[in-house]
Amino acid sequence: MTVAKGDDEATPGIELGVVASEFATVKVTLEQGGSGARLRVEDLRADAVRYLDALELESLVWAPEDWWRRLLDPSLHRWRDAGRGPEIESLPPG
C-alpha cells in the first residue's frame, strides 16, 4: 500500500538520493511538473509518500524547534490511538 498525501500521479523527477539512518530510510526525488516543482519524499520502510511544495518546504525551514519536537512524537500521527483520530493521518481525505 502506498500512502500518499497530495496527488500520486507519476511525474518524472530527479532522484536526489536516499537519506537513511538506523531509525528511518527516506528517498527524496525532485519532480518538475508543468505547473512547478515539488519534492517527493518516500518512506521506503513503510511504502508511504508525501509531496512537498515550495511554500511547505520554506515553512519547514522556519518551523520553530518546539514544532519539530512535537512532530517527532509518534503518537501525533502514525501511531495515534485508534479512538483519537484517523489511524494514519496522512491518508488522503475521502
Name the site residues for other proteins (rule: CB under 8 A).
Answer: 21-24, 65, 68-69, 72-76, 78-81, 83-84
Instruction: Between 45 and 47, name the residue whose CB sits nearer to other proteins.
Output: 45
Helix (H, G, I), strand (E, B) or coil at 67: helix
Closest approach, Cβ 91 to other proteins, in A, equals: 17
CA dist 83 → 19, 66, 79, 80 (Å): 33, 26, 11, 8
Q: Label the pairing between strands 3-5 and 13-20.
A: unpaired
Q: Which is nearer to other proteins, 8 or 87 (CB)?
A: 87
Nearest-Å Rg of the Cα atoms of the chain is 14
CB 72 to other proteins: min, Å? 5
User: Residue 40: is it exposed, middle or buried by C-beta count within 10 angstroms (0-12/13-18/19+)?
Assistant: buried
Q: Which is nearer to other proteins, 54 or 76 (CB)?
A: 76
Q: Which is nearer to other proteins, 53 or 80 (CB)?
A: 80
Min dist. Cβ of residue 19 to other proteins (A) = 9
